[in-house]
Amino acid sequence: MAASGGALWRRRVAALCRAARSVCGRAAGAERLAGRLRARRREEEEEKKKREVPGNPARRRARELAALQRVHPNVLARVLKQGAVYQDEEVVVLNKPYGLPVHGGPGITNCITDVLPILAKMLENMRAETLHLCHRLDKETTGVMVLARSKEAADRIRLLFKTRQVEKIYWAISVGHPDPAEGIVEIPVVEKEVQSHQPHYKMTLAPNYRLSPEDGKVLKTRKNRSAESAVTRYRILASSSACSLLELQPITGVKHQIRVHLAYGLGCPILGDHKYSHWNKLAPQKLPEITLRRLKLEQSKARHLPLHLHAHRLSLPLGASGGKWIDLVCEPPVFFHRTLRKLELDIDKN
């Protein structure tokens, strides 16, 4: 009886040991599984970080420049307030950031128009009337932008732009050197559809004259009814590294006229202007070897270069009688100055 009781006791102990080993095994297995899941999560987080902060500096800077489209409207209004360069009872003048559209549209999260009521309250008080647009700048263009505090002031300033009483001075970095170094481009501009594997629309030249292929004589062309008169004055401020810093004065205000006149009229597209560096295709801008070397950039990464076009100065008469003439100047953004330095485009030396 005693022996039988001892055998039963040993069997119970053995069963308990097996159960304990089973529990320990399951615990160890669970720990290994948890370890693998933690490792996988770390890998996924690392991959996410790589996507969010790309290793390529040009791509990272491009992401940074487009960041304002993703911020809260209050944050955007605060950034615009910090960029105000002039204010009086009639106008507010901003240094427009890069990559920020003036108007909304498909795929656009933030635009200047949407935050004007918020900006007005930040600049004045909670009962302030919304600010009003007086003119527009392209999404990729930086620089002087005039807003009016009242609808009446906005209407007066818009009329000044329409009747060409506003003097506009732009700075641009071009790929190549315009010849001659100073001059006026007076060629009408028209929008046309580009027939390619990716059909799209672009502004292009609609010249009034052409050369005869037979004898080289100058022939007058039939006027395109859709074409608009476009006049741009230009001069070189500095040249280096197969690029030039240009001062540009658009006499007229046709859509993309500076970009079209430089690219198709003078053969010197603006640095970072991937739209107008080619006619029949949508492709990154092709850059000279010396330019790539100075920018420390590979041609395959050229698509990340921003457009180097800046509204530098604006002069216009203000007040109901137009007796107050103001001259507004905005410094180019940091990326523009960085490019000037890398390309050794020093205005003082020229």
Final residue of a structural domain among 163, 194, 215: 163
Q: What is the pLDDT of residues 106-132, one digit of tens each?
A: 888 889 999 999 999 999 877 788 999
Same domain (yes/no): 157, 203: no
pLDDT higher than threshold 90 for residue 174 = yes
Q: Residue 49 domain-assigned?
A: no
Q: What is the band of 169 on the pLDDT scale with cuts at 50, 70, 90?
A: very high
Q: How far apart are CA 349 and CA 62, in angstroms?
A: 30
Q: Residue 276 domain-assigned?
A: yes
Question: What is the rounded average pLDDT of the residues 143-160?
Answer: 96
Same domain (yes/no): 159, 194: no
- Lowest-pLDDT choice from 58-62, 195-199, 311-315: 58-62
pLDDT higher than threshold 70 for residue 29 = no
Q: Between residues 19 and 347, which one has the greater pLDDT?
A: 347
Q: State residue 215's pLDDT score.
A: 84
The answer for residues whose C-beta is within 8 angstroms of residue 321's C-beta and 6 or more apart is none
Q: How far apart are CA 64 and CA 61, in angstroms?
A: 5
Q: State residue 44's pLDDT score.
A: 66
Q: State residue 152's pLDDT score.
A: 94
Same domain (yes/no): 155, 193: no
Q: State residue 53's pLDDT score.
A: 47
Q: Return the CATH number at 343.
A: 3.30.2350.10
- Lowest-pLDDT choice from 14-23, 47-56, 163-172, 274-283: 47-56
Note if 138 is an active site residue: yes
Same domain (yes/no): 172, 280: yes
Q: Between residues 118 and 39, which one has the greater pLDDT?
A: 118
Total of domains in the chain = 2
Same domain (yes/no): 321, 199: yes
Q: State residue 336's pLDDT score.
A: 97
Which one is catalytic: 138, 155, 179, 215? 138
Same domain (yes/no): 195, 70: no
* CB distance 299 to 175 below 8 Å: no
Same domain (yes/no): 299, 345: yes
C-alpha triplet 330, 261, 268: angle, nearest 5°: 85
Same domain (yes/no): 199, 326: yes
Q: Residue 6 domain-assigned?
A: no
Q: What is the band of 67 on the pLDDT scale with cuts at 50, 70, 90?
A: confident
**CB neighbours (10 Å) of residue 282?**
13
Same domain (yes/no): 119, 174: no
Question: If you compute the radius of gyration of the chain from its CA atoms, what whole number of angstroms results?
Answer: 31
pLDDT higher than threshold 70 for residue 62 = no
Final residue of a structural domain among 163, 188, 217: 163
Same domain (yes/no): 183, 68: no
pLDDT higher than threshold 90 for residue 20 = no
Q: Where are the alpha helices (DSSP H) in 53-194?
A: 57-65, 73-82, 112-123, 151-162
Q: What is the pLDDT of residues 75-92, one digit of tens each?
A: 999 999 999 999 999 999
Q: State residue 43's pLDDT score.
A: 66
Q: Residue 12 domain-assigned?
A: no
Same domain (yes/no): 158, 177: no
pLDDT higher than threshold 60 for residue 335 = yes
Q: The domain containing residue 142 runs over which residues?
A: 60-163
Same domain (yes/no): 152, 175: no
Picking from 101, 125, 97, the residue whose alpha carbon sits closest to that of residue 114 is 101
